Amino acid sequence: HDLTDNYAAIAERLKELQAGHYDICTNIGGGIDKAIKELTGSRARASAAKVMLLLTDGNPNIDQSGGYSTSGGKNYAKDMAAIAASKGIQIYCITVGTAADRDLMQEIAETGGGEEFHASGSIEQYSTELKEIFGELGSRRPVRLIE
């Protein structure tokens, strides 16, 4: 969604993108690829810091060709993280749920020069944890002087 102060439109778009909206798979590599295109494409501001927040269940299972594959999904996600890092994009990984592959998410965050965060428990518990995580990340916004 483009930058806006129409919070209702943002909330509606997020509702449309909830887990399971498209199918039951997690295409982390594809998500990273889409973020790279957004952060480096014609709509991107050249002087803006390039930061990606990867919010996921932490279990990639879609490979580069779009097929269902756990190992292929992991490799695709790692490959795309390396491409993002090569373009100067910093990656912060945020996983939700007890079954997340936190080792993989830590590896992706490290590749992207970011950090991995995790939230779990009941909906109320992980909702509170996510608010704290996003508060922490919001306080880390890079500050650069530009012309």
Mean per-residue pLDDT, 60-84: 95
Asked if residue 63 lies in contact with residue 25, where contact means CB atoms within 8 angstroms, the answer is: no
93-137 per-position pLDDT tens digit: 999 988 899 999 999 999 999 999 999 988 899 999 999 999 999
pTM of the model: 0.83
Task: Give the C-alpha separation, 78 to 103, whole Å.
Answer: 12
18-32 per-position pLDDT tens digit: 655 556 678 999 999
Per-residue pLDDT at 80: 98
Q: Which residues of 11-41 are buried (b: 16+ CB within 10 A; e: fewer)?
A: eeeeeeeeeeeeeebbbbbbbbbebbeebee
Position 126, amino acid = Y
Q: Where are the alpha helices (DSSP H) in the chain?
A: 7-16, 28-40, 70-86, 102-111, 123-138
* φ, ψ at 62 (rounded to 5°): -120, 125
